[in-house]
Amino acid sequence: MAASSSSSSLLPQTLKVGIVGFGAFGQFLAKTMIKQGHTIRATSRTDHSRLCHQLGVPFYRDTLSFLEADNDVILISTSILSLSEVLRAMPLHCLKRRTLFVDVLSVKEHPRNVLLQVLPDVMDVLCTHPMFGPESGKNGWKDLPFVYEKVRVRDEPRCSSFLQIFESEGCRMVEMSCEEHDKLAARSQFLSHAIGRILSEMGIESTSMNTKSFETLVKLKESTTNDSFDLFSGLFIHNRFAQQELMNLEHSFEMVKQRLRRGTSEEQNLSKDKGACYYWLQWHAEMIQTKWKTKVGGDLQRYGGCDEWTVVETCKNMKVVVSEQLVMVEACIHMDEESVPVVVKVEVYDGVVNLEISEETVVVMLHICKVYRWLPRL
Ligand code: NAP
């Protein structure tokens, strides 16, 4: 990740920008571009011609005429969920000139992949995420982050002129790979949206005795629910890192509940603690599975619908000892053609889990999750 300046030594050009998807965000961006003197034209699923007329923007119902309208840049501002369908329905082969395609979707790997798949090779591709919206950017864009990756850019001056739209408004320009963006955004953006939606489900409303923290919660609920559910859903479905964050959220919620219950009850219910422990192991199993895939490439399979995991890369000579308070696994695992002996011990004493495990023992850990189910009352 790097904060950067995209200015070229040449003066920025005035651009002809065709916007695909003239919803809330497309309109919001168009207003600033018009103010800066760029020429805008638009196409969208819904007929926005009346609004476009007020803005002095030609609106094309027909995508063929839109593509033939001699655009320097085609800006994609359609919903994350509809991107693929929208692009595949466009007669892109009719483009007469090399055009810069820019997307502004709130996830980045997905549009990058789709654009590279559907566009002719001669088209330039810039993937961006202005990390603000009609609400947070209503008083200007100064210091608001603008993330981008030049995925395939041959016409540098044109790309710089486009980036200049945001730079000249004072945005903080951040050049970053689409993958890195999605990793960070799953933690920040998806998580805030998820919590905002949960608060909305709970129906929280401002009261006459709000604390500052409660006001923050109400604002979070309002700002996230102002965005469409399609956007939230897209953040989850098309960001491969979001699933993990959702699991982290669930796990942490479970842990907080467990702690609260322990705090309110003197009676340490062992079976509940075991439940927590099992949950904890399950959570780790999910993380381990991801690690295992990237590190060793072995395939782990989930038995349909249940919580057990099995390892296709085998553990040899595995010995499992299970008692009321202890699960011990001695095994020999094969990694990179080496045989690594490991012992993994999980002890449960009055709800305290002692786990000895090292990086190499990931496979065994999965087996623990499995055998732990054999313990009485679990
Ligand atoms: P959105 O609900 O994500 O997208 C609305 C746009 O998608 C509208 O132009 C709509 O077209 C189009 N659309 C939705 N479903 C469609 C379908 N099945 N077929 C064709 N077009 C369809 O809301 P948004 O806030 O305007 O966001 C637009 C894009 O900007 C999204 O990709 C979002 O991730 C990104 N973005 C939004 C923000 C923000 O703060 N809102 C910030 C940064 C980036 P019609 O209007 O013609 O119906």
How confident is the model over 41-55, as pLDDT tens digits?
A: 999 999 999 999 999
Ligand 1 center to 28 CA (angstroms) = 11
Mean pLDDT (the chain, rounded): 78
Q: Ligand 1: does its nearest atom lie under 6 Å from the Cβ of 106?
A: yes
Whose tokens are 């964050």? That residue is 245
Cβ(5)–Cβ(173) under 8 Å? yes
**Closest residue by Cα to residue 82 from 135, 46, 49:** 46
Mean pLDDT across 341-364: 45
Q: pLDDT value at position 47? A: 97
pLDDT in tens, 310-324: 333 333 444 444 444
Ligand 1 center to 78 CA (angstroms) = 4
Measured from the Cα of 77, ligand 1's closest atom is: 29
Residue nearest to atom 39 of ligand 1 (CA): 133
Residue nearest to atom 20 of ligand 1 (CA): 45
Q: Ligand 1: does its nearest atom lie under 6 Å from the Cβ of 101?
A: no
Q: Ligand 1: does its nearest atom lie under 6 Å from the Cβ of 86?
A: yes
Q: pLDDT value at position 94? A: 87
Ligand 1 center to 81 CA (angstroms) = 9
Q: Ligand 1 pocket check: which of 45, 57, 182 to mutate, most ligand atoms within 8 Å of Cβ? A: 45
pLDDT in tens, 361-373: 444 444 444 444 3
Q: Ligand 1: does its nearest atom lie under 6 Å from the Cβ of 43?
A: no
pLDDT in tens, 265-316: 544 443 444 444 445 445 554 554 554 454 444 443 332 333 333 333 333 4
Cβ(79)–Cβ(52) under 8 Å? no
Cβ(79)–Cβ(231) under 8 Å? yes
Ligand 1 center to 122 CA (angstroms) = 26
Q: Is pLDDT above 70 for 348?
A: no
Ligand 1 center to 126 CA (angstroms) = 18
- Write the secondary structure of 137-205 as one string of H (helix), E (strand) and C (coil): CCCCCCCCEEEEEEEECCCHHHHHHHHHHHHCCCCEEEECCHHHHHHHHHHHHHHHHHHHHHHHHCCCC
Q: Ligand 1 pocket check: which of 28, 50, 77, 228 to mutate, most ligand atoms within 8 Å of Cβ? A: 77
Mean pLDDT across 102-126: 97
Share of the chain above pLDDT 90, in %: 59
Q: Ligand 1: does its nearest atom lie under 6 Å from the Cβ of 25?
A: yes
Measured from the Cα of 103, ligand 1's closest atom is: 32
Ligand 1 center to 152 CA (angstroms) = 24
Q: Ligand 1 pocket check: which of 25, 88, 110, 235 to mutate, most ligand atoms within 8 Å of Cβ? A: 25
Q: pLDDT value at position 6? A: 46
Ligand 1 center to 60 CA (angstroms) = 17
Give pTM, 2 decimals. 0.72
Among 90-99, 103-112, 355-364, name the most confident range: 103-112
Measured from the Cα of 107, ligand 1's closest atom is: 34
Mean pLDDT across 27-49: 98
Q: Ligand 1 pocket check: which of 231, 235, 236, 239 to mutate, most ligand atoms within 8 Å of Cβ? A: 231
Ligand 1 center to 84 CA (angstroms) = 13
Q: Ligand 1: does its nearest atom lie under 6 Å from the Cβ of 79?
A: yes
